[in-house]
A and B are shown apart, each in its own frame.
Chain A
Amino acid sequence: MEDTNTTLLPADAATESPVVGIDQSAGNFSYDVKYEFDAGSGLSERVVEYISSVKKEAPWIREFRLNALKTFLSRPLPTHWATRDLESIDFSKIRYYLSSGQKPKRSWDEVPADIKRTFERLGIPEQERKFLAGVEAQFDSEAAYSNVKEAVSKQGVIFLNSSEALKEHPEIFRRWFGKVIPTGDNKFSALNSAVFSGGSFIYVPPGIKVAHPLQAYFRINAENFGQFERTLIIVDEGSEVTYMEGCTAPKFSTSTLHSAVVELVAMKGAKIQYITVQNWASNVFNLVTKRGLAHEAAEIKWIDCNIGSRLTMKYPGVVLKGRKSRGEVISIALANDGQHQDTGAKMVHAADETTSNIIAKSISVGQGRSTYRGLVHIPKHLKGCKNNTECDALLINTNSRTDTYPAITVRGAANRSQHEASVSKVSEEQIFYMRQRGLTEGQAMSLSVNGFINDLARQFPMEYSVELKRLIDLEMEGSVG
C-alpha cells in the first residue's frame, strides 16, 4: 500500500547521509534506489502507524504499538542503575524500519580482509558468508533446510515470523503476546513493542517432541536479522523443543541499536531450550529482554553466549509459575577492549518445589568490562524451593574489570539457596607450564580460557561448541602481545 505522504529520499541524499552506525572504514555501500517503504529516521506516531500499515496489521496490533510508543517516550533511561553509556544512543537518528529493498549492500571485494579471514577461521559455510557480510540482503535457506521444515510442519508445528503469525493464527498467539514481557517491563521492551518486525513465532501442539532443533536460519530474510525482532514460543503440554539463534560470525550491521524481545511459554510438563550465540560488532548496543513462563513440571533453559558489542544488557529469566517447574540459565560472556557485557539472570519463584539454576561465566580481556546481575526471588509462603547460583569471572589483563551484583531474596525456612562467586586471573605459572610443553603464549591463553568455559561450552550443540572454541581462540590471539 503506497503512502503518498512518504518522503522519498533522492538518490544522492542517500549516499550523502548514510545510515548512522555504519563504520565508514569498513567499506562503501550502495542504496537500492527503489524507495516504496521508507519510514525515515527517528521515532514518532507516524513511523509506528507506517510500519503497521505496511504490514497490513489488524487494528489491535496497531493499538498495541501506539500504546507501547507512549510508554517508551514517557520512560527515562535506566541510568540510575545501568551504565550512562546508554545516553550515547541517539534515538532520532535510528531508522526503525527497513524493508529488504532498502538494506545497504556492498560487493564482496569491499568486505574487509579481516572479516573474510574470520569466516575462514570459524569455518562458516561458503553460502552463508555473503549474507553475513552484507553482500546479499537475503539468504535462501529453503534448499538447505527444507527437509527439516517439512518434517516439522507434519508434526503440526507452526513456525512463522511475527507478522504472519499474528495475522494467520491470532487465536493461538494473541493469548500470550505481550503477557510474559508486558510492554512496560522496561524502556526497551516498550521500544520493541512499538516497532517490532521479524523474529520467530512458534507453536508446538501437545505431546510432540520436536526432534530437530529449530533455527532462525529457517526463515532468513532481511527482517529476521533486523534490529527489533520479536519472538514468541509456545510449547503445549508435554511437548519439547530446542530453538537456536545467532552464529559466531560477526554480522554486518548497519544499526547501532538491537533491541529484541523473546517470550517463552512452557505449558504443563513442557520443555523449552533456547540457545543463543552472538558475536556483535563493537559499535552495537544489544539490549534484549528475554523471559520464560513455566507451568507445572515444565522446564525452561536459556543457553546464552555473548561476545562483542559496545554494550550488551541481557538478563534471561524464568517465572516459575507452576509447581515443580524448573528454570535454568547458562551464560558465557566475553568482553574485549571497549566492550561491556552487562548480563545475568532472573529467577522468580511463584510456586512450591520449584528449582532454579544459574551458571554464569564471564571473561574480561584488555579493557573489557563484565558485569553480572542476578536476581533470585523466593517469597516466604513457598515451600521446598531451591536455587543454585554460580558466577565466575576471569580477568585476562590487569586492566580488565568485573563487577557482581547479586540480588537474592530468599524467605521461608523450607527454601534453600546457594551462591558461589569467584574471580580469577589467568595464572602466570599455568601459562609458563603450558609454554614449557611447546605451546606459544597465545595457544596457552586460548587453552586456559577454553578450559574455563569448557563445562558450559559442552552444553551447546556440537556445531556451536566447535565454532565457539574457534571464536575464543581468535579473540585471545588479539589479546596477546
Chain B
Amino acid sequence: MPSTLEISSLHVSIGEKEIVKGLSLTIKSGEIHAVMGPNGTGKSTLSKAIAGHPDYTVTGGDILLDGKSILQMEPDERARAGLFLAFQYPSEIPGVSIANFLRAAVQSHMGEGEELDATAYYKRLYQKMDLLKIDRKFTSRSVNEGFSGGEKKRCEILQMAMLEPKIAMMDETDSGLDIDALRIVSAGVNELRGPNLGVLLITHYQRLLNYIVPDYVHVMWDGRIVKSGDKSLALELEAKGYDWVKKELVTA
C-alpha cells in the first residue's frame, strides 16, 4: 500500500534558535529523495523533528503522513505509524541484547493481541543479519555497545529491515564508513528498496549516491530547500561545491 510523507512549510526551532525556516518536501513510497547540504544547514534537525525528538519545537507548518498530521503524535506513535529514523549517532543500550531489543521493537509494531512467533522472528533476523554481513553472534551483544562506526550503521539498517517502515529517514548513514562498510550498508538498503518504501536520504557527500541512486536530489541551505533536481544535480554539486549554490542564490 503506497504512503506519502508531506512536509509543508515546516519551521523548526531548538530553544530560541530557528533552524528549519519554511521547508516543503513530499516523499512517496517507492521514491528515494536525497537531501544534501553543508553542515549546520538543518538536515539532522529536519529528520529529528519529523521523528518527534523532544528537544525540537515545530513553530510553523505541518508534517502529514498519509494525509494525517503527526505533530501531536508521540515519537513511539510515529514509529508505529511506519516512520523510521536511522540515527547518525545511534545510542548504546548496555545490558540489552540486540535479539531482545529488536524483539520488543517488532512486537510493539504488532496489533493488539498479536503475538510474535519466536521461530519465524529468529529466522528472519538471521536472514537479514547474513545479508548485512553481521555475525550471528551479535544477537547476544548489547545494542551498539563497543561497536565500531560501521557496525553501528549496519545495525541501524538491520533494525530498518526488521521493522519494515513505510518511510525511512537515513541521517548521514555514510559518515564514518569506509568503502567496504559503505558497500554493505548500501546493498542492505537497496535490498529493501521497492514500491512500499519511501526514503529520505540525508548526506553530506555525493559518494553514497553512487551506491544508493536517488530519484530526486534536493539541496538544503540555511533551513530551506533551495534547489531540486534528479541524480545529476548531486554530481553537479560535487563538481562545483556548495559555494556555487550560495552564489546562485545571491544572484537569483
Chain A residues in the interface with B (C-beta under 8 A): 427-430, 432-441, 443, 447-448, 450-455
| A residues in contact with B79, CB < 8 Å | 435-438
Residue B141 at the chain A interface, CB threshold 8 Å: no
Residues B68-103 near A (CB distance < 8 A): 74-76, 79-80, 84-85, 87, 90-96, 101
Given known A438-B108, A438-B109, A443-B108, contact A433–B96 (CB-CB < 8 A) = no
Given known A433-B91, A436-B51, A437-B163, contact A447–B101 (CB-CB < 8 A) = yes
* A456 closest partner in B (C-beta): B95
Contacts A430-B92, A440-B74 supplied; 12 other A-B pairs, CB < 8 Å: A427-B91, A428-B54, A436-B76, A438-B79, A438-B108, A441-B76, A443-B104, A447-B96, A450-B96, A452-B95, A454-B94, A454-B96
CB-based contact A440/B91 at 8 Å: no
Of the A-B pairs whose beta carbons lie under 8 Å apart in the complex, a sample of 10, sorted by A's number, is A433-B91, A434-B101, A435-B75, A436-B75, A436-B84, A437-B79, A437-B101, A438-B79, A438-B163, A441-B76
* A447 closest partner in B (C-beta): B96
- For the complex, would chain A's binding face be called helix, strand, loop or mixed by DSSP majority? helix
CB-based contact B95/A451 at 8 Å: yes
Residue B159 at the chain A interface, CB threshold 8 Å: yes
| B residues in contact with A427, CB < 8 Å | 91
| B residues in contact with A453, CB < 8 Å | 95
- Complex CA gap A448/B79 in Å reads 19
Residues B153-180 near A (CB distance < 8 A): 159, 163
CB-based contact B53/A432 at 8 Å: yes
| A residues in contact with B105, CB < 8 Å | 437-439
- Complex CA gap A429/B87 in Å reads 11
Chain B residues in the interface with A (C-beta under 8 A): 51-54, 74-76, 79-80, 84-85, 87, 90-96, 101, 104-105, 108-109, 142, 159, 163
| A residues in contact with B75, CB < 8 Å | 432, 435-436
- Complex CA gap A347/B76 in Å reads 46
Best-surrounded residue of A433, A436, A450, A454 (most CB of chain B within 10 A): A436
CB-based contact B95/A454 at 8 Å: yes
- Complex CA gap A430/B94 in Å reads 10
| A residues in contact with B87, CB < 8 Å | 433, 436
Given known A436-B85, A441-B76, A443-B108, contact A452–B94 (CB-CB < 8 A) = yes
- For the complex, would chain B's binding face be called helix, strand, loop or mixed by DSSP majority? mixed
CB-based contact A430/B95 at 8 Å: no
B81 smallest CB distance to A (angstroms): 10
Within 8 Å by CB of B93, from A438, A447, A455, lies A447
* A453 closest partner in B (C-beta): B95
* A446 closest partner in B (C-beta): B104
| B residues in contact with A448, CB < 8 Å | 93, 96
B8 smallest CB distance to A (angstroms): 22
Within 8 Å by CB of B104, from A433, A439, A441, lies A439
| A residues in contact with B76, CB < 8 Å | 435-436, 438-441
- Complex CA gap A451/B51 in Å reads 24
Best-surrounded residue of A430, A437, A453, A454 (most CB of chain B within 10 A): A437
B84 smallest CB distance to A (angstroms): 8
CB-based contact B93/A434 at 8 Å: yes
- Complex CA gap A222/B79 in Å reads 51
B47 smallest CB distance to A (angstroms): 10
- Complex CA gap A386/B14 in Å reads 51
| B residues in contact with A452, CB < 8 Å | 94-95
- Complex CA gap A441/B75 in Å reads 9
| B residues in contact with A433, CB < 8 Å | 87, 90-91, 93
| A residues in contact with B92, CB < 8 Å | 430
CB-based contact A430/B91 at 8 Å: yes
CB-based contact B54/A432 at 8 Å: yes
- Complex CA gap A437/B94 in Å reads 17
| A residues in contact with B53, CB < 8 Å | 432
- Complex CA gap A439/B107 in Å reads 9
Within 8 Å by CB of A451, from B90, B142, B163, lies B142
- Complex CA gap A441/B84 in Å reads 17
- Complex CA gap A453/B101 in Å reads 16
- Complex CA gap A430/B79 in Å reads 15
- Complex CA gap A430/B84 in Å reads 16
| B residues in contact with A455, CB < 8 Å | 95
A195 smallest CB distance to B (angstroms): 42
* A454 closest partner in B (C-beta): B95
Which 9 residue pairs spanning A and B have beta carbons closest together?
Answer: A451-B95, A454-B95, A438-B108, A437-B105, A451-B96, A433-B91, A435-B75, A438-B79, A435-B76
- Complex CA gap A427/B91 in Å reads 9
| B residues in contact with A432, CB < 8 Å | 53-54, 75, 91
- Complex CA gap A427/B93 in Å reads 10
| B residues in contact with A435, CB < 8 Å | 52, 74-76, 79
